[in-house]
Amino acid sequence: MSSPSASLSATLQHLDLGASSDARGAVVWLHGLGAGADDFAPLVPYLDAPHLRFIFPQAPLRPVTINFGAVMPAWYDIRTLRRDADREDAEHIRTVSTELRDLLAALEDQGIPAHRIVLAGFSQGAAMALHVGLRYPRPLAGLLILSGYLVIEDSLETEADPANAATAIQFCHGSRDGVVPMASGRASFERLREGDRDLRWLDYPIGHEVCDEEIADIKAWLAERLPAGSSRKER
């Protein structure tokens, strides 16, 4: 596996697994707390999507309060396990959001329009994907939320962009998840049920992880959202 680079963004390093043919879409996939850009890269061959470009950003290193201040890759600090307003560091979230928006815009500049980009993530990465995707100013192809949840959700009503008010979202969650309880993911799903978006919920009898059945469901959803037959030059 190659080391993360910054070919799409001056501030956010990432792995770029280019399509084996001309890219007709892209998946930007964010890893979870303490993991790295290469965490989900081994899944790419199983998704059978040679027409897609997979971008795996790398979270910055920072101390994480709930892990006794240990320094690790983290999109934002988590201060407490309680579900309260001060649980996540909002400044970290907003800074990383700007960097992720820049990365998405750079993909567009390279010829992949927003409506051919899926923003995906696992755990803390899924929380960031949901946060950024709902606020992005151009319609995305979809949001793939694996064991994720809404962060600083009190700002959602005022910050959500109408461009992604109907963007498809698929939630996948383990019913035995002891890290991000399924109830947290389900509450976020229910918060987004208003309107006519294609919103789906799938759960599996697993913990804080992914399983073969989930990978098959991800593959099917990506094929639906980013089919091979569409051109990268669509606008």
Assign residue 48 a region: left if phi > 0, alpha if psi is -120 to 50, beta otherwise?
left
3 an active-site residue?
Answer: no
Token pair recorded at residue 146: 């694996």
* CA–CA distance, 147 with 125 (Å, rounded to integer): 9
Q: Which of 38, 161, 203, 208 is catalytic?
A: 208
208 an active-site residue?
Answer: yes
Sheet holding 199-204, edge to edge: 14-17, 52-57, 25-30, 117-122, 142-146, 169-174, 199-204
Q: Which of 16, 77, 89, 177 is catalytic?
A: 177
Q: Which of 97, 123, 147, 184 is catalytic?
A: 123
Residue pointed to by tokens 């890219």? 23
Q: Strands (DSSP E) along 104-167, which ranges? A: 117-122, 142-146
Could you give phi then psi for residue 49, rounded to 5 degrees? -135, 65
Q: Strands (DSSP E) along the chain, which ranges? A: 14-17, 25-30, 52-57, 61-64, 70-73, 117-122, 142-146, 169-174, 199-204
Q: Three-class SS of residue 214?
A: helix
Token pair recorded at residue 36: 């790295």
> Do 230 and 24 form a contact (C-beta atoms < 8 A)?
yes
Catalytic residues: 123, 177, 208
